Amino acid sequence: MWRKNRRNNGDGTYGVDLNRNYGCQWGGGSGSEGSDDTGDDCYRGTHAFSEPETAALRDFVQALDHPRAMVAYHSYSQLFLRPWAYTLADPPGEMTLRYIAQDSIARIAAVHGRVYDETIWYLCYGETGDYFWDGMRLATFTPELRPNTWEEGNFDPDPNQIIPNNQENLPAAIALIKDAGCRKVWIKDHTNDNGVEPSAVWMGNHWSHAFWVSPDIWTVPAGQISGLTQNACDQ
Protein backbone atom coordinates (compact mmCIF):
# COMPACT_ATOMS: atom_id res chain seq x y z
CA MET A 1 0.00 0.00 0.00
CA TRP A 2 3.04 2.32 -0.22
CA ARG A 3 2.26 5.18 -2.59
CA LYS A 4 5.37 7.37 -2.68
CA ASN A 5 9.04 6.88 -3.41
CA ARG A 6 11.45 6.36 -0.49
CA ARG A 7 12.88 9.87 -0.15
CA ASN A 8 14.11 10.50 3.41
CA ASN A 9 12.37 13.77 4.19
CA GLY A 10 14.63 14.39 7.18
CA ASP A 11 11.83 14.66 9.72
CA GLY A 12 11.03 11.02 10.33
CA THR A 13 8.83 10.72 7.23
CA TYR A 14 9.63 9.09 3.92
CA GLY A 15 8.49 9.57 0.37
CA VAL A 16 7.34 12.00 -2.30
CA ASP A 17 4.31 11.40 -4.50
CA LEU A 18 5.96 11.30 -7.93
CA ASN A 19 2.69 12.12 -9.69
CA ARG A 20 2.64 15.49 -7.89
CA ASN A 21 6.30 16.28 -8.61
CA TYR A 22 6.29 17.29 -12.29
CA GLY A 23 6.81 20.83 -13.51
CA CYS A 24 3.37 21.81 -14.81
CA GLN A 25 1.44 23.73 -12.14
CA TRP A 26 3.66 22.25 -9.42
CA GLY A 27 2.89 23.67 -5.99
CA GLY A 28 -0.79 24.31 -6.53
CA GLY A 29 -3.69 22.86 -4.64
CA SER A 30 -3.75 21.20 -1.25
CA GLY A 31 -4.37 17.77 0.24
CA SER A 32 -4.86 15.13 -2.44
CA GLU A 33 -4.34 17.80 -5.14
CA GLY A 34 -0.74 18.16 -3.92
CA SER A 35 0.37 18.55 -0.34
CA ASP A 36 3.29 20.32 1.36
CA ASP A 37 2.91 18.03 4.38
CA THR A 38 5.81 15.55 4.27
CA GLY A 39 3.71 12.89 5.96
CA ASP A 40 0.87 13.14 3.46
CA ASP A 41 0.44 10.44 0.81
CA CYS A 42 0.27 13.26 -1.78
CA TYR A 43 3.36 15.16 -0.61
CA ARG A 44 4.70 16.93 -3.72
CA GLY A 45 8.36 17.39 -2.70
CA THR A 46 10.44 20.48 -2.11
CA HIS A 47 10.30 21.66 -5.74
CA ALA A 48 9.35 20.44 -9.20
CA PHE A 49 11.55 17.52 -10.30
CA SER A 50 13.14 17.28 -6.88
CA GLU A 51 13.05 13.49 -7.24
CA PRO A 52 15.53 11.45 -9.30
CA GLU A 53 12.71 9.33 -10.74
CA THR A 54 10.75 12.23 -12.24
CA ALA A 55 13.91 13.99 -13.44
CA ALA A 56 15.15 10.79 -15.09
CA LEU A 57 11.87 10.19 -16.93
CA ARG A 58 11.74 13.83 -18.07
CA ASP A 59 15.29 13.64 -19.44
CA PHE A 60 14.69 10.26 -21.07
CA VAL A 61 11.55 11.38 -22.91
CA GLN A 62 13.04 14.70 -23.98
CA ALA A 63 15.99 12.83 -25.54
CA LEU A 64 13.72 10.64 -27.69
CA ASP A 65 13.27 11.31 -31.39
CA HIS A 66 9.87 12.95 -31.69
CA PRO A 67 7.87 11.00 -29.10
CA ARG A 68 4.11 11.04 -29.66
CA ALA A 69 2.26 9.38 -26.78
CA MET A 70 2.59 8.05 -23.27
CA VAL A 71 0.39 5.87 -21.08
CA ALA A 72 0.76 5.98 -17.28
CA TYR A 73 -1.16 3.09 -15.73
CA HIS A 74 -2.60 3.67 -12.27
CA SER A 75 -5.16 2.04 -10.04
CA TYR A 76 -7.98 2.02 -9.31
CA SER A 77 -11.49 3.28 -10.44
CA GLN A 78 -11.83 2.27 -14.13
CA LEU A 79 -11.13 5.74 -15.48
CA PHE A 80 -9.34 6.84 -18.66
CA LEU A 81 -7.97 10.30 -17.91
CA ARG A 82 -6.28 12.92 -20.08
CA PRO A 83 -4.96 16.48 -19.54
CA TRP A 84 -5.68 18.70 -17.82
CA ALA A 85 -5.48 17.23 -14.31
CA TYR A 86 -5.04 20.52 -12.43
CA THR A 87 -8.21 22.14 -13.83
CA LEU A 88 -11.52 21.13 -15.37
CA ALA A 89 -10.92 23.55 -18.26
CA ASP A 90 -10.17 22.02 -21.66
CA PRO A 91 -6.53 21.99 -22.81
CA PRO A 92 -5.31 22.86 -26.30
CA GLY A 93 -5.95 19.86 -28.53
CA GLU A 94 -8.91 18.69 -26.45
CA MET A 95 -10.73 17.23 -29.46
CA THR A 96 -7.77 14.99 -30.33
CA LEU A 97 -7.24 13.89 -26.74
CA ARG A 98 -10.96 13.19 -26.30
CA TYR A 99 -11.11 11.15 -29.51
CA ILE A 100 -8.18 8.96 -28.44
CA ALA A 101 -9.62 8.51 -24.95
CA GLN A 102 -13.07 7.55 -26.25
CA ASP A 103 -11.57 5.20 -28.83
CA SER A 104 -9.49 3.55 -26.11
CA ILE A 105 -12.50 3.21 -23.82
CA ALA A 106 -14.45 1.51 -26.61
CA ARG A 107 -11.60 -0.92 -27.29
CA ILE A 108 -11.33 -1.76 -23.58
CA ALA A 109 -15.08 -2.33 -23.25
CA ALA A 110 -15.14 -4.62 -26.30
CA VAL A 111 -13.02 -7.26 -24.53
CA HIS A 112 -14.84 -8.02 -21.25
CA GLY A 113 -17.56 -5.39 -21.14
CA ARG A 114 -15.82 -3.22 -18.56
CA VAL A 115 -16.66 0.42 -19.27
CA TYR A 116 -14.10 3.02 -18.23
CA ASP A 117 -15.26 6.55 -17.46
CA GLU A 118 -13.73 9.83 -18.67
CA THR A 119 -15.05 11.82 -15.72
CA ILE A 120 -12.36 13.17 -13.43
CA TRP A 121 -13.66 13.82 -9.93
CA TYR A 122 -10.48 15.22 -8.41
CA LEU A 123 -7.71 17.68 -9.31
CA CYS A 124 -3.99 17.01 -9.35
CA TYR A 125 -1.17 19.57 -9.57
CA GLY A 126 2.29 18.67 -10.88
CA GLU A 127 0.86 15.65 -12.69
CA THR A 128 2.76 13.59 -15.27
CA GLY A 129 0.39 13.96 -18.21
CA ASP A 130 -0.04 17.71 -17.75
CA TYR A 131 3.71 18.25 -17.88
CA PHE A 132 4.30 16.26 -21.07
CA TRP A 133 1.24 17.66 -22.86
CA ASP A 134 1.97 21.24 -21.82
CA GLY A 135 5.67 21.19 -22.67
CA MET A 136 5.96 18.66 -25.48
CA ARG A 137 2.41 18.05 -26.78
CA LEU A 138 3.03 14.41 -25.92
CA ALA A 139 -0.44 12.84 -25.72
CA THR A 140 -0.38 11.32 -22.25
CA PHE A 141 -3.21 9.24 -20.83
CA THR A 142 -3.80 7.79 -17.37
CA PRO A 143 -5.93 4.65 -17.25
CA GLU A 144 -7.05 3.90 -13.71
CA LEU A 145 -7.39 0.13 -13.85
CA ARG A 146 -9.90 -2.25 -12.29
CA PRO A 147 -11.69 -2.47 -9.98
CA ASN A 148 -14.42 0.14 -10.15
CA THR A 149 -15.20 0.42 -6.44
CA TRP A 150 -13.65 0.07 -3.01
CA GLU A 151 -15.88 -2.91 -2.31
CA GLU A 152 -14.50 -4.79 -5.34
CA GLY A 153 -10.98 -4.72 -3.95
CA ASN A 154 -9.74 -1.11 -4.35
CA PHE A 155 -5.91 -1.03 -4.42
CA ASP A 156 -5.66 -4.71 -3.51
CA PRO A 157 -7.96 -6.58 -5.94
CA ASP A 158 -8.09 -10.33 -6.22
CA PRO A 159 -5.20 -11.73 -8.31
CA ASN A 160 -7.78 -13.15 -10.72
CA GLN A 161 -8.22 -9.57 -11.98
CA ILE A 162 -4.64 -9.30 -13.27
CA ILE A 163 -5.10 -11.13 -16.57
CA PRO A 164 -8.48 -9.54 -17.48
CA ASN A 165 -7.01 -6.11 -16.70
CA ASN A 166 -4.20 -6.75 -19.16
CA GLN A 167 -6.40 -8.38 -21.77
CA GLU A 168 -8.80 -5.45 -22.01
CA ASN A 169 -6.17 -2.71 -21.94
CA LEU A 170 -3.88 -4.32 -24.52
CA PRO A 171 -5.97 -3.49 -27.65
CA ALA A 172 -6.17 0.18 -26.66
CA ALA A 173 -2.42 0.31 -26.06
CA ILE A 174 -1.62 -1.34 -29.40
CA ALA A 175 -3.93 1.04 -31.27
CA LEU A 176 -2.27 4.04 -29.63
CA ILE A 177 1.20 2.68 -30.45
CA LYS A 178 0.24 2.24 -34.10
CA ASP A 179 -1.22 5.74 -34.29
CA ALA A 180 1.82 7.24 -32.60
CA GLY A 181 4.12 5.49 -35.07
CA CYS A 182 2.29 6.73 -38.16
CA ARG A 183 4.34 9.44 -39.89
CA LYS A 184 1.88 10.03 -42.74
CA VAL A 185 -1.22 12.16 -43.07
CA TRP A 186 -4.13 10.32 -44.72
CA ILE A 187 -6.77 12.34 -46.49
CA LYS A 188 -10.31 11.16 -47.22
CA ASP A 189 -10.64 11.48 -50.99
CA HIS A 190 -14.18 10.20 -51.54
CA THR A 191 -17.26 9.93 -49.36
CA ASN A 192 -16.93 6.17 -48.75
CA ASP A 193 -13.20 6.24 -47.99
CA ASN A 194 -12.70 4.03 -44.93
CA GLY A 195 -8.95 4.37 -44.64
CA VAL A 196 -7.79 1.63 -47.02
CA GLU A 197 -4.90 2.90 -49.15
CA PRO A 198 -4.91 3.37 -52.05
CA SER A 199 -8.59 4.16 -51.68
CA ALA A 200 -9.17 4.97 -55.37
CA VAL A 201 -7.58 2.83 -58.09
CA TRP A 202 -7.23 3.62 -61.83
CA MET A 203 -9.22 0.96 -63.68
CA GLY A 204 -7.75 1.64 -67.14
CA ASN A 205 -10.35 4.11 -68.28
CA HIS A 206 -11.84 5.40 -65.02
CA TRP A 207 -11.20 5.61 -61.29
CA SER A 208 -12.80 3.02 -59.03
CA HIS A 209 -14.29 5.81 -56.90
CA ALA A 210 -15.14 9.39 -57.60
CA PHE A 211 -12.87 11.78 -55.74
CA TRP A 212 -14.32 14.00 -53.08
CA VAL A 213 -13.47 17.62 -52.38
CA SER A 214 -12.58 17.51 -48.68
CA PRO A 215 -13.80 20.44 -46.54
CA ASP A 216 -10.78 19.84 -44.27
CA ILE A 217 -8.18 20.72 -46.91
CA TRP A 218 -7.70 24.01 -48.69
CA THR A 219 -4.98 25.94 -50.45
CA VAL A 220 -3.38 29.28 -49.66
CA PRO A 221 -3.81 31.46 -51.64
CA ALA A 222 -7.19 30.27 -52.86
CA GLY A 223 -6.50 31.07 -56.53
CA GLN A 224 -3.59 30.34 -58.81
CA ILE A 225 -1.06 33.16 -59.13
CA SER A 226 1.35 33.01 -62.03
CA GLY A 227 4.93 32.36 -61.01
CA LEU A 228 4.10 31.27 -57.44
CA THR A 229 3.97 27.80 -55.92
CA GLN A 230 0.65 27.07 -54.26
CA ASN A 231 0.95 25.82 -50.71
CA ALA A 232 -1.33 23.04 -49.50
CA CYS A 233 -2.31 23.42 -45.88
CA ASP A 234 -3.81 20.52 -43.94
CA GLN A 235 -5.88 21.47 -40.92
The set of residues, in sequence order, having a beta carbon less than 8 Å from that of 93 and lying 6+ positions away, is 133, 137, 139
- Give the integer Cα–Cα distance in Å for 55 and 152: 35
Same domain, 142 and 72: yes
Q: Are residues 130 and 92 in the same domain?
A: yes
Domain count, the chain: 2
**Are residue 116 and residue 193 in the same domain, yes or no?**
no
23-79 pLDDT tens trace: 999 999 999 999 999 999 999 999 999 999 999 999 999 999 889 999 999 999 999
Residue 216 is predicted with a pLDDT of: 61
The pLDDT-based confidence of 235 (bands split at 50, 70, 90) is very low
Query: What is the band of 230 on the pLDDT scale with cuts at 50, 70, 90?
Result: very low
Q: Mind telling me the catalytic residues?
A: 144
Shared-domain flag, residues 80 and 151: yes
Do 72 and 170 fall within a single domain? Answer: yes
β-pair type (74-75, 139-145): parallel
Full-model pTM: 0.76
Q: Identify whether residues 176 and 188 lie together within a single domain.
A: no
**pLDDT per residue over 111-144, tens digit each?**
999 999 998 778 999 999 999 999 999 999 999 9
Please give the residue range of the domain that contains residue 217. 184-235
Is there a domain that residue 99 lies in?
yes
**106: which residues sit within 8 A by CB, 6+ positions away?**
none
Q: Is residue 76 part of a domain?
A: yes
Domain presence at residue 22: no
